Structure 1
């Protein structure tokens, strides 16, 4: 049940919803859950949440002319230009707490091929969770200690 909760929390954290998964990752690490599975389920959930952002981004052109649409044509143009500066490689930064969700949304708007999108986002998210787990282990004094 803990891994499912982690997956869902990481999924929500990657969408535009206000959620954070790092605290749950830290809690599970400190409760001696398997590190690989913590990393795997957090990475999988967070990556899938970013795919949802990409799907939403791919729908933007259908709705951008509606009065209720929250982003102006000028803002979309600027986002596309910024994304084009670094291209799909910027998706490696989809893990950033500020702007990461927007990057994956714009990746969808720019129609980055799905395989590239998922691989680049998963690499970034996987490295992030590996780092979070390492920080928790380090803070707990578990890195480098003898069994």
Structure 2
């Protein structure tokens, strides 16, 4: 069964998975559903944004958990770069959590550095909403 055939639920699942360490294609499902005109664009953007944010917060939590178990030197080189970026910019760096390949590392680093959950949530959500608005309205 393809996720787009599940409608908004499939979009939520895809958006969640896409924002964890697993690859996904929530933008394609959003575009398909927007193009089908069976649901409001704002509803689809909200569903995708919430799912993607929850996935990113899962990665943030994994960073928090890993920080308790492993020293920073044990992190992969990709995460070292993310740690430096988040150290420099704080929660603002999480506005870019939607970026492919980079975003997961930023969320992981945010948890690792024990950034405020609320400020992390707000920055992640804002970045995700803006990205999904852009994708959705490209297909209206």
Which interval holds the TM-score relative to the shorter structure?
A: 0.7 to 0.9
User: Structure 2 length as normaliser, TM-score?
Assistant: 0.86
Distance 2:122 2:31 in 1: 25
User: Cα–Cα, structure 1 residues 18 and 74, in superposed 2: closer, same or farther, change >3 Å?
Assistant: closer
Post-superposition offset of 1:126: 0.2
Instruction: State the number of aligned residues.
Output: 132
> Is the alpha carbon distance of 1:12 and 1:74 closer, same or farther for their aligned partners in structure 2, counting shifts above 3 Å?
closer
TM value normalised by structure 1: 0.82
**Quick check: which one's helix share is greater?**
2
Give the Å deviation of 1:136.
1.3
Question: Counterpart of 1:13?
Answer: 18
Kindly report which structure 2 residues correspond to 1:59-78, keeping only aligned pairs within 5 A, or say none: 59-64=65-70, 72=74, 75=77, 78=81
* Segments of 4+ moved more than 2 angstroms: 71-82
Structure with max Cα Rg: 1
Extract unaligned runs of 5+ from structure 1. Answer: 66-70, 138-147
CA distance in 1, matches of 2:75, 2:48: 35
Equivalent position of 1:127 in the other structure: 130
Is the counterpart of residue 51 in structure 1 residue 57 in structure 2? yes
Partner of 1:37: 43
